[in-house]
Amino acid sequence: MKNHWLVKQEPEAYSWDDFVRDGLTTWSGVRNFQARNNLRAMRKGDAVLFYHSVSEKAVVGIARVTREAFADPTAKEGDWSAVELKPVKPLKRPVTLEQIKAEPKLREIALLRNSRLSVQPLGKAEFELICRL
């Protein structure tokens, strides 16, 4: 069964456009244990929402996991993981944090309950609802 995720990135550091230009990226540099464990739970083929954090606060595209968790090449010490992601398609319109907050069916997602978590699980219904917004 395919899992669904949301990853957050500041667009000034690495935007959806950067991701599309690169065509593939190693999702590395995560230094939070819960987010690391979420990376380790990702499976090849899982669907991922790409969220621009801080300045835009909006889901902007859909990606796919192309390589499961491996040792994070940016980690100088510690037990950290990375995955490889590939862009699939942009959303027709960005889905803003305000739109997500306004949807009662999304009230319990990690984006609203644990906003600092950079790699978050989503249920299939939540993923699809965000894509429809």
Domains located in the chain, CATH noted: 4-132 (3.10.590.10)
- Mean pLDDT for the stretch of residues 20-30: 97
pLDDT at 115: 85
Q: Output the six-digit token pair for 81.
A: 């993981």
pLDDT at 9 over 90: yes
Tell me how far apart the alpha carbons of residues 131 and 49 are, in angstroms, rounded to a whole number.
9
Q: Are 11 and 51 in contact (CB under 8 A)?
A: no
Residue with tokens 């862009």: 87
**pLDDT tens digits, one per residue of 52-110:** 999 999 999 999 999 999 999 999 999 999 999 999 999 999 999 999 999 999 999 99
List Cα–Cα distances, 18 to 75, 86, 98, 112, 119, in angstroms. Answer: 22, 12, 25, 26, 19
